[in-house]
Amino acid sequence: MLNRIEHGAPTERPGLVIVHGLYGSARNWGVIAKRLSDTRHVIAVDMRNHGASPWFETHSYEDMAGDLAEVIKGLDGPYDVLGHSMGGKAAMVLALTQPALVNRLIVADIAPVSYGHSQVQYIKAMQAVDLAAVERRSDAAAQLQATVDNPALVPFFLQALDVAEKRWLLNLETLAREMPKILSFPDISGSYEGKVMFLTGADSAYVTREHRDRIKALFPAAQFAKIPGAGHWLHAEKPREFEAAVRTWLG
């Protein structure tokens, strides 16, 4: 079963499972998860090949949805599910294939489509870090800053570094090999009839009006909301606004 971090205790309200994106972890969501747990049980998970969860040779959305299903069944679900980016796709596949486990769905800045960009360059950047020379996080930061095109991503990547053990808490080899699957979306028939909110960053190009027909075909009850001034990492860039939007919609 996936590693998970629990916040709060079960209440009369549905619990919430939070699913991070590529290179993320349950710890990245600690502040938001803790704040939302004032009225409900909140669980943030480490996805396979991330954080403290087991490593596998595969990283498909069918695999990830199956992992989430196992977690929710163990919680005596259904639960509300919030997923960002890769986690949003995994949550969508879960809702489409095992709808009885998903009470409501929040998809953060991702659409059920294939994307043309690649994330492999960041895996190569992390693999290129000389971990033997890393005594503190700043040593790795200096190496990453020379190869990562977006400086804002460096602190995020460093959260996945175990300095004491001199290793990444990411299965970089599998993630690189499975990148085509991560960038794609499975060909799934049918639809999820439950309530869904697609919450996006107003400055992000990940979810466009051209995606609306595909979204509505799979999620007929989909609603859309944007956070002004936020990009793809909307929960990190505008955490208070993100929390407020989630809290209001779940309210």
Q: Which residues are catalytic?
A: 85, 173, 232
Q: How do 16-19 and 79-84 pair as beta strands?
A: parallel
Specify the DSSP element, H or E, that contains 157.
helix 153-158
SS (H, E, C) 89-142: HHHHHHHHHCHHHEEEEEEECCCCCCCCCCCHHHHHHHHCCCHHHCCCHHHHHH
Question: How far is the first Cα of the chain from the last one, in angstroms, to the nearest whole number?
Answer: 29
Q: 83 by DSSP, 3-state: which? A: strand
Question: What stretches of 6-81 show up as alpha helix (H) in DSSP?
Answer: 30-36, 61-74
Per the CB < 8 A criterion, the answer to whether 179 and 118 are in contact is yes
Q: Classify residue 44 as exposed, middle or buried by CB count within 10 Å of its CB (0-12, 13-18, 19+).
A: buried
Q: How many residues does the chain have?
A: 251
